[in-house]
Every structure is written in structure tokens, then in C-alpha cells.
């Protein structure tokens, strides 16, 4: 518990403000689906109606709570930064994750836009290294900024020789 020692500083840039809306929509749609599943049998099957409605209520309640809390929390945590030498991101809400990858070890850079992200004008940048630990993802960027970031990353990784392993 040596809290007086080293600490990670948050990366410089926040993600786009619209990401809050995106996360809210996402959480809300999952909540709605999960709530509807027990409601259907409750409507057609009389004897167990009460218990299914209770289940629906509990699921809906938890879902709404998450929908209310999670997007804002995420917005406070999700950050990213690209320096000349490395990519640095933080993400998560209850469980949080910080990732650092040096420019010289980056293998591929992709941008992706799901239909929901597109509706909010957002995009994600995925940075892959040779590690099995999974790619680094910066989600919820403004889509033009995402393209710019990806281009910049591609340029700087191409400048570094080696096979990135």
C-alpha cells in the first residue's frame, strides 16, 4: 500500500463526449432484451407469472442502474495518448485497464465502425501487437479523428524497422 510511490498518470486525451450516448444506448438495449426474455413466458403462462415478473424486475433494475452509472464512469476513465514512441490507453469502469505498447512493436492498425457507433459518428482504432494478450482498442473516437490517428500510427510504425516480435 505504498501509495506515496509511483503512479500512472492518466493519458492526455479523453474520448469523444458522444461516446457517453453510445454506451448508454448499448447498455439500454441489452437491458431491454434481458428484461423482455422473462416477460414473454409471464404473459402466456399464468401459474408462474409472478416469479417471472420478479425476475424481469430484478434484471431491469440492475440493467437500468448500470445504464445510469456505467457510461459516465467510463467517460471519466477512458483516455488515450499517442507519443512518438508509444501508444498509451486506459479503459474500463469497475475493472480498469491501462495498456502501453511501443511504436516499434505495433503490427497492424485498424479502424472499425459498428452501426451503432456510426449513428453517433464514432469509430474505434485497434492496435495489434505480436502478443497473445489481445489488441489495444481506443473506442469512441470521433470518426474523422480515428482515421487521422490510424494514419498517424501507420506512418510512424512504418518508419520503425523490424518485424515487431
Partner 1 sequence: MTSHDDHRPEELPTNTPHPETDPTTAEPTAPEQDVPTGADEAGDDWLGLSSLSVWANTAIVALFMVPSAIVATVVLVVVDQPLWALLPLPATGAFIALMTYLDMLRLRAVRYRVTADRMEMRSGIIAKAYRSIPRERVRSVDVAAPIYVRVFGLCTVTVGTGEKVGAGADQLKLEFVTAEQGERLRRELLRRSGTAGVSETSAEGEDGSVDEDGVELARLNPRWFAYAPATTATFGIGLGVIAALVGANAQSGGHGWQWISDRAGLPGGQQMADFVMSQLLLVVPLFLLGLLLSGVVILLLAALETWWDYRLTRESDGTVRLRRGLLTSVSLSVEGRRLNGVVLHEPFVLRSVRGASIQAVATGLEGGDDKKTSAKSRLSPAMPRSRARTLGAALMRQERSPLDVPLAAHPRAALRRRFTRATFVTLAGVALAGGLAWLHMVATESWWEVARTIEENVIPIPLVVESVEATPGWGWFALAIVLGVLAFWYAVGSYRGLGHGLHPKYLVLRKGMGVRDTVTLERSAVIGWRITRSPFQRRLGLADVSATTAAGAGMYSALDVGLGQGLAWADEAVPELLAPFLERPEGAEATEGSRPAPLP
Using CB under 8 A as the criterion, which residues of the chain lie in contact with partner 1 when the complex forms?
Answer: 1-9, 11, 81, 83, 85-86, 88, 92, 94-102, 105, 129-133, 136, 163-165
**Between residues 47 and 95, which has the closer beta carbon with respect to partner 1?**
95
Q: Which is nearer to partner 1, 12 or 29 (CB)?
A: 12
In the numeric block, which cell numbers belong to residue 109?
A: 492498425
Quick one: 74 or 105, whose CB is closer to partner 1? 105
- Residues 158, 164, 165, CA angle at the centre, nearest 5°? 175
Of the candidates 130, 126, 137, which has an alpha carbon nearest to the alpha carbon of residue 164? 130
Question: Is the Cβ of residue 99 or residue 140 nearer to partner 1 in the bound state?
Answer: 99
Shortest spacing between CB 9 and partner 1, in angstroms:
4
Whether the Cβ atoms of residue 140 and residue 15 lie closer than 8 Å to each other: yes
DSSP labels for 9-49? PPPSEE--THHHHHHHHHHHHHHHHHHHHHHHHHHH-STTH
User: Rounded to an integer, what distance in angstroms lies between the CA atom of residue 74 and that of residue 140?
Assistant: 11
Neighbours of 142 (CB within 10 A): 18
C-alpha cell read off for 162 = 523490424
Shortest distance in whole angstroms from residue 164 CB to partner 1: 8
C-alpha cell at 154: 501507420
- Output 2 or 46, the one with its CB closest to partner 1: 2
Task: Compute the least distance from the CB of residue 113 to partner 1, in Å.
Answer: 24
Instruction: Please state the closest distance from residue 34 (CB atom) to partner 1, in A.
Output: 23
CB 48, min distance to partner 1, A: 25
Amino acid at each position: 500500500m505504498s501509495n506515496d510511490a509511483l503512479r500512472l498518470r492518466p493519458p492526455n486525451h479523453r474520448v469523444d463526449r458522444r461516446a457517453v450516448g453510445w454506451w448508454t444506448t448499448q447498455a439500454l438495449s441489452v437491458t431491454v432484451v434481458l428484461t423482455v426474455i422473462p416477460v414473454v413466458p409471464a404473459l402466456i403462462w399464468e401459474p408462474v407469472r409472478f416469479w417471472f415478473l420478479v425476475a424481469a424486475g430484478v434484471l431491469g433494475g440492475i440493467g437500468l442502474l448500470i445504464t445510469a452509472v456505467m457510461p459516465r464512469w467510463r467517460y471519466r476513465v477512458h483516455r488515450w495518448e499517442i507519443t512518438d514512441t508509444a501508444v498509451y490507453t486506459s479503459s474500463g469502469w469497475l475493472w480498469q485497464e491501462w495498456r502501453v505498447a511501443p511504436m516499434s512493436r505495433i503490427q497492424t492498425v485498424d479502424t472499425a465502425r459498428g452501426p451503432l457507433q456510426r449513428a453517433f459518428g464514432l469509430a474505434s482504432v485497434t492496435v495489434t501487437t505480436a502478443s497473445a494478450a489481445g489488441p489495444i482498442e481506443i473506442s469512441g473516437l470521433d470518426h474523422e479523428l480515428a482515421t487521422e490517428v490510424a494514419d498517424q500510427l501507420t506512418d510512424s510504425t512504418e518508419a520503425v524497422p523490424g518485424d515487431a516480435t
